[in-house]
Amino acid sequence: MIRLSIPLRQALSRLSLPVLIAAALGIMLLGKADTAMVERGRMALADTLAPVYGLITEPVSAVRGLLSELAEWRDLRAENARLRDENARLHRWQAAALSLGSENALLRRQLGFLPEAPASFHTARVVADAGGTYARAVLLAVPPDVPLRKGQVALDERGLAGRVTEVGSRSARVLLVTDMNSRIPVVLERSRARAMLAGTNGRLPRLEHYPADAPPQEGERVVTSAEAGVFPAGLPVGVVRRGANGTPEVELFARLDRLDMLRIFEFGLSGILPPEAVARPEPRARR
Amino acid sequence: MKQGAHPLSELLKHLDAWGRAALPATATALAMILAAAPVGLPSAVPALLLCCLFFWSVFRPAALPPPLCGLLGLLQDLLVFAPVGTGVLIALLMQGAALRLRRVLARQAFWTVWLAFAAFALAATLLGHGLQAVLTWRLPQAAAAVVQLLLAIGFYPPVAALLTRLHRSMQRAEDLA
């Protein structure tokens, strides 16, 4: 160790603080000037400490897990009671459904009701929000062996999305119900009144041509109508909402802004009017 | 035999002294690293550094020489992603101020020291806030500064209790040596 005289050492120790403060200011400027170097230093430190932190988090997360488990145990009683309630309620619904099912079967027998053929469907992935002729349309990627046809009905997992308007060998275009060119015959479920669902290019399509004596009620369910032989009856479409100026609009069940898969149903209906063809709808085929 | 034992005990004594001298800075750095772990409180790192720095500067100024203090400040900057250099500057200024006042403060009761520390922490937080605003040219959130100040003030009593025991035991060891 270098021996220094006492006054010199005192002077040095007194100087060290101002010198260091000046160095700190220098570091600040350097950090401002060369951010990449500071970033490298930071990441080097973080890399060194990462295993240590990994070790620390193990017991901490174990303790946290234990605590949350304890909380679950505490809430077990309440949860049990809730589940029992729910179970009882569901049992009642089950009984109602069973009795309705048997009643339905009985009535069908008495009516000589011809059951509709079960619909077949293909699932296709939505690959693009296609523009083109229509503002609200999507493009589907379809495997070449899937026989799609114009006029088939597209549903997402919640409700009606649109109709197939153009079919290629590997793709198909679906006109969504929100498009301005889309007109869908619908039925208001409570009043059984017929109406037209007209797209506006906005988020909510409008209801038009409903009977004056049965205006759509807020919250009423809207389903498709079998009129014109385009759709089968009863596909879920949405719920009636009153718009800003009192026009009845339909909040769709289908989430058209985030479509990723669509089911294309073949209902065996041929009453479709192809969008580009000017032709009368054919009479509904008898089955 | 006796000739061999003498250098060894000398070495042990040196090691002991070295360990004692390195303990405050090492313990502070370790505490800061642990506080920066992603499981605990955020912004506890500057609060811890302030507490330790203040305590050692007032009661055992030899324990944290200014260069080490600057290094701890740099560690804080790197750990909390603050503009680099601000922690160094604040730590050094705090230490300088605490060293000036230590002759008065070391003799006071705990409450007085705590109050003085609160004033120090307020000054340090304000300075940090201002420096950050100037260096990033953006007004940082005031809530973070308030939380840091409250954490520092709240941390001081337990930290001081712990460090007081450490300080006492170190003094005892020095008296024995």
pLDDT, tens only, A219-252? 889 999 888 777 888 888 999 998 888 889 999 9
pLDDT exceeds cutoff 50 at A97: yes
Best of A10, A19, A28, A37 to mutate (most B CBs within 10 Å, chain B): A28
Chain B residues with CB-CB distance to A45 below 8 A: 75, 78-79
* Residue B105: per-residue pLDDT: 86
CA distance A197 to A183: 6
The alpha carbon of residue A212 is apart from the nearest alpha carbon of chain B, in Å, by 59
Contact A182, A206 (CB under 8 A): no
pLDDT greater at residue A2 or residue A261: A261
pLDDT tens digits in sequence order for chain B, 177 residues long: 444 557 788 888 888 888 888 888 888 888 888 888 766 566 688 888 999 999 999 888 888 888 888 899 998 888 887 888 888 999 999 988 988 888 888 888 889 999 999 999 999 999 989 988 888 888 888 888 898 899 899 999 999 999 999 889 888 888 887
Amino acid at B106: A
Task: Show me where the domains of chain A are located.
Answer: 14-113, 120-266
Cross-chain Cβ contact B70/A31 below 8 Å: no
**Inter-chain touch A41–B84, beta carbons under 8 Å:** yes
The band of A49, judged by pLDDT with boundaries at 50, 70 and 90, is confident
pLDDT at position B99: 87
- Shortest Cα distance, chain B CAs vs residue A50, angstroms: 9
User: What is the pLDDT at residue A285?
Assistant: 55
> Under an 8 A CB cutoff, do A27 and B38 touch?
no
The pLDDT score that the predictor gives to residue A280 is 47
Q: Which residues of A touch B39 (CB under 8 A)?
A: 56-57, 60-61
Check CB contact under 8 Å for A20 and B73: no
User: Chain B residues with CB inside 8 Å of A17's CB?
Assistant: 66, 92, 95-96
pLDDT at B2: 45
Residue of higher predicted confidence among A14 and A84? A84
Domain region containing B8: 2-176
User: Is residue A141 within 8 Å of A125, Cβ to Cβ?
Assistant: yes
Q: What residues are paired with A197 via a beta bridge?
A: A184, A207
Residue A132 vs residues A64, A136, A143, A261, B126: alpha-carbon distances, Å: 54, 9, 22, 20, 60
Tell me whether B12 touches chain A (CB under 8 Å): no
Residue A224, SS3?
strand
Contact flag B85-A57 (C-beta cutoff 8 Å)? no
Q: Is A28 on the interface with B (CB under 8 A)?
A: yes
**Is B134's Cβ below 8 Å from some Cβ in A?**
no
pLDDT at site B39: 64
B76 to chain A: which residues are within 8 Å by CB? none
Contact B57, B99 (CB under 8 A): yes
> pLDDT class for A41, splitting at 50, 70, 90?
confident
Mean of the per-residue pLDDT values for chain A? 84
Q: Which fold has domain A120-266?
A: Thrombin, subunit H (2.40.10)
Residue predicted with more confidence, A133 or A56: A56
> Taking 50 as the threshold, does the pLDDT of residue A140 lie above it?
yes
Question: CA A82 to CA A73: how far, in whole Å?
Answer: 15
Phi, psi of B152, deg, nearest 5: -60, -45
Nearest to A233 by CA among A279, A184, A191, A200: A184
Query: Is B85 an 8 Å CB contact of chain A?
Result: yes
- Nearest chain B alpha carbon to A54: B37
pTM of the model: 0.57
Three-state helix/strand/coil letters over chain B: CHHHHHHHHHHHHHHHHHHHHHHHHHHHHHHHHHHCCCCCCCCHHHHHHHHHHHHHHHHCCCCCCHHHHHHHHHHHHHHHCCCCCHHHHHHHHHHHHHHHHHHHHCCCCHHHHHHHHHHHHHHHHHHHHHHHHHHHCCCCCHHHHHHHHHHHHHHHHHHHHHHHHHHHHHHHHHHHC
Phi, then psi, of A25 in degrees rounded to 5:
-60, -40
Residues of A in contact with B93 (CB under 8 A): 21
- Chain-centroid distance, C-alpha B30: 11
Find the closest chain B residue to A60 by CA distance. Answer: B39
- Find the closest chain B residue to A55 by CA distance: B37
Bridging pattern class, strands A171-176 and A160-167:
antiparallel
The string over B42-80, giving b where at least 16 C-beta atoms fall within 10 Å of a residue's C-beta and e elsewhere, is ebbbbbbbbbbbbbbbbbbeebbbbebbbbbbbbbbbbb
**Cα-based distances in Å from B109 to B58, B94, B99, B171:** 13, 21, 18, 20
For residue range A172-191, list pLDDT tens digits in order.
Answer: 889 999 988 888 999 998 88
pLDDT attached to residue A283: 55
> Residue A100: its pLDDT value, please?
94
Residue A222, Cα to own-chain centre: how many angstroms? 19
Whether the predicted pLDDT of A279 surpasses 70: no
Assigned token pair, A183: 């007109």
Question: Which one of B78, B131, B138 makes the best mutation probe of the A interface by having the most chain A beta carbons within 10 Å?
Answer: B78
State how far the Cα of B35 lies from the Cα of B26, in Å rounded to an integer: 14
* Contacts across the A-B interface (CB distance below 8 Å): 71
- Amino acid making up residue A281: P
Percent of chain A with pLDDT over 70: 90
Look at the block and give the residue holding tokens 């203040």: B54
* Total structural domains within chain B: 1
